[in-house]
Chains A and B, each alone.
Chain A
Amino acid sequence: MEILTWTYLLVGISFAIYIGIAIWTRAGSTKEFYVAGGGVSPLANGMATAADWMSAASFISMAGIISFAGYDGSVYLMGWTGGYVLLALLLAPYLRKFGKFTVPDFVGDRYYSKTAKIVAVICALFISFTYVAGQMRGVGIVFSRYLEVPIEWGVVIGMCIVFFYAVLGGMKGITYTQVAQYCVLIFAYMVPAIFISMQLTGNPIPQLGLGGEVSDGTYLLDKLDGVLADLGFAEYTSGRKGVMDIFMITLALMVGTAGLPHVIVRFFTVPKVKDARLSAGYALVFIAILYTTAPAIAAFGIYNAINSTSEKKISELPTWISTWQKTDLIQVEDKNGDGLVQYLPDQEKNELSIDRDIMVLASPEIAELPNWVVGLVAAGAMAAALSTAAGLLLVISTSVSRDLFKTFKPEISEKKELRIARIAAAGAVILAGYFGVNPPGFVAQVVAFAFGLAAASFFPVIIMGIFSDRINKEGAIAGMLTGLVFTLAYIIFFKFISPELNTAEHWWFGVSPEGIGSIGMILNFLVCILVSSFTPAPPPEVQEMVQEIRIPRGAGEASQH
């Protein structure tokens, strides 16, 4: 069968499964809509969390980023997994014991203040919107590349699917769909990785193949270091960024991960505190499978790409290169007219440009795998994008219906609240779709900064809300605003006002805008502690609540009020 037929078939089957699950698990109450009724098993929740977490960017782009960044790409690997340790140890069990539905719920109650809650809602909405626009774009790109439809149509089809199961099923529908999506995406990621690892190093486990030997008996990574150095590039295994910058970016990504509302909310769906801890462990196992494979795909990919092109005759390049040249993701231009390809760091002389997404998208062809694997990778990329989009849309609709609407109009009936939540989800799908079709130029950049903002705003106030009973509302509000404003100002200055100054010598302490969330977080902590020590302690019932969330016993299901 043709590649296109296989792609339609596999993507079609996976969509049919998602819709089937959505109908089967339709949400009937607000509790089912917000937290899946609080009855999800830790294993299923772990899988759903992993799918929710791993976006189109993790699936399609991460390996390619590492291919070109080498050691520096480690910031994403450590940053996007290490956050789960913080989440499991410092947040998930306590927030589960607290037992409501959203992060702003917690901030509002712990800091006995509507203002604090509203600030939290605004942070949550901002983070989720920037993120979801990127996902819809991802859906559109996957559609257009594999199914050969225009990007706009791809976005619209993706919107319809997400609309159907997020609006209908709420958290319950999303959770069980995400379990299915995880299975699809991990299978699609691993199959080409295993075969490429086998071809290059003879070891079927990519994680070990990365440290294996290539056909001439030298270690793959040493060979890669040598090949890159010969061409004038930096060695693959050594870094180019400053130590301080690597440190701060990794920290911002870790802490940001632990502060993302759509991740935190997943731990409200399990029945017990015990389950929340375990569930974070399962989630990280499922995430780690992909995240430890990605650096292997990255190294295999760049090795293969250089080996099959550098100093080779243009007329004799492998077929996957000519296939992907049609999409402009690979460009070959014989600048010096010698009929050979030169891959060089000097932009004037370099004749080969490879888009980072190629490392995953073209992996089945590089490994010469059958056509159905290409269709599988398409279905996997789609699963990654859709599952993350759905999780984010739920946070947006919950923020609107519960954190905003119900805060000001507490008397509305459950039926009405559920309707508002569905309307909000529908509105969010349409808005996200609009940004997917007409992406503002800054979306891609802003997504990376969403982490910095989450790190600088949410993380400190949640941690201190649990680990201190002395921090009060004045401290929390001042801390959140300081972290948010400082981080935002630094990013806006270097990215939008004076991008020409965005180099290491102008950065404060050598920290790039990507890593500045860490400094914002530290400021948030300091301001919060300082302001709290000059203002009155929280009322006794709040102090009692803090004691209460620290012990597991008595955690009912996520409660209505």
Chain B
Amino acid sequence: MPSKPKINTKGYWRKNLQTLFILLFIWFLVSFGFGVLWVDELNQIRMGGFKLGFWFAQQGSIYVFVLLIFVYVYRMNKLDREYDVHED
């Protein structure tokens, strides 16, 4: 293995935590926010045959969850390369 160049692990970790914070905020918002805490307010709004709060609780939050993981994967792969901590 070639000699290790200096890696900015502190910066990498800070960026990682920032990403986590934003994504987990959205995670909380769509499920606990839209699906539980403000479900009655959102139910006043309609989206086709769905009341919006009900839709978030039984459908929408799940779609957003899937999206969040893939955004995380994309963002972290980029970050890994930026800070030169990627594998292989």
**Restricting to A186-238, which residues have a CB under 8 Å from any CB of B?**
207, 210-213, 219-222, 237-238
**Contact B32 A247, beta carbon cutoff 8 Å:** yes
Contact between chains at B24 and A89 (CB < 8 Å)? yes
User: CB distance B65 to A85 under 8 Å?
Assistant: yes
CB distance A82 to B49 under 8 Å? no
Cβ-defined contact, A551 with B32, below 8 A: no
The minimal Cβ–Cβ distance linking B4 to chain A, given in whole angstroms, is 9
Q: Is A281 an interface residue (CB 8 A)?
A: yes
A550, B9: Cβ atoms closer than 8 Å: yes
* Contact indicator B23/A89 (Cβ below 8 Å): yes
Which residues of chain A have C-beta atoms less than 8 A from B63's C-beta? Answer: 288, 292
Q: Mark A57-87, 1 if CB is under 8 A from B, else 0.
A: 0000000001000010110011001101110
Known interface pairs A292-B63, A551-B7; 7 further A-B residue pairs with C-beta atoms within 8 A, sorted by A's residue number: A66-B58, A71-B57, A82-B27, A89-B23, A211-B49, A221-B54, A277-B73
Cα A326 to Cα B75 with chains together (Å) = 56
Is there contact, CB below 8 Å, between A285 and B49?
Answer: no
Q: Given the complex of chains A and B, what is the CA–CA distance between A285 and B31 in angstroms?
A: 17
Number of A interface residues at 8 Å Cβ cutoff, please give it: 53
Q: Is the CB of A547 within 8 A of B65?
A: no
Given contacts A272-B87, A277-B72, A552-B85, contact A221 B23 (CB under 8 A): no
B45 CB-CB contact with A under 8 Å: no
State which of A93, A220, A243, A288 has its C-beta within 8 Å of the C-beta of B66: A288
Cross-interface CB contact of B55 among A89, A211, A213, cutoff 8 Å? A211
Q: Which residue of A lies closest to B40 (CB)?
A: A238
Contact A247 to B87, CB < 8 A, known contacts A89-B24, A281-B69: no
Which of B27, B31, B63 has the largest count of A CB atoms less than 10 A from its CB? B31
Chain B interface extent, by class: 35 or more
Question: Are B87 and A553 touching (Cβ within 8 A)?
Answer: yes
Interchain residue pairs A-B with the least CB separation, the first 7: A219-B49, A211-B49, A74-B57, A281-B69, A295-B58, A551-B85, A237-B54
Q: Which residue of B lies closest to A79 (CB)?
A: B31
Is there an interface contact between A210 and B69, defined as CB atoms closer than 8 Å? no
In the complex, how many angstroms separate the beta carbon of B65 from the nearest chain A beta carbon?
5
Is residue A33 contacting chain B, with contact meaning CB distance below 8 A?
A: no
A-B contact count (CB 8 A): 136
Inter-subunit contact B12/A551 (CB<8 Å)? yes
Q: Contact check: which of B43, B59, B85, B86 meets A237 at CB < 8 Å?
A: B43
Q: How far is the CA of A93 from the CA of B58 in the complex (A)?
A: 28
Q: How far is the CA of A78 from the CA of B62 in the complex (A)?
A: 7
A407, B44: Cα distance in complex, Å: 58
Interface residue? A273 (CB, 8 A): yes
Task: Evaluate whether A84 and B72 lie within 8 angstroms (CB atoms) in the complex, with A78-B35, A550-B9 already known.
Answer: no
Which chain A residues border B27 with CB–CB below 8 Å?
A: 82, 85-86
Cross-chain contact A292 with B59 (CB below 8 angstroms):
yes
**Contact of A237 with B32 in the complex, beta carbons under 8 Å:** no
Contact partner, A552, options B23, B73, B80, Cβ 8 Å:
B80
CA distance A471 to B59 in the complex (A): 38
Contact for B13 among A221, A278, A550, CB less than 8 A: A550
- In the complex the two chains form, is A211's CB within 8 Å of B48's CB? yes
Contact of A89 among B20, B48, B85 (CB under 8 A): B20
Cα of A212 to Cα of B32 in the assembled complex, Å: 26
A423 in the interface (beta carbon within 8 A): no
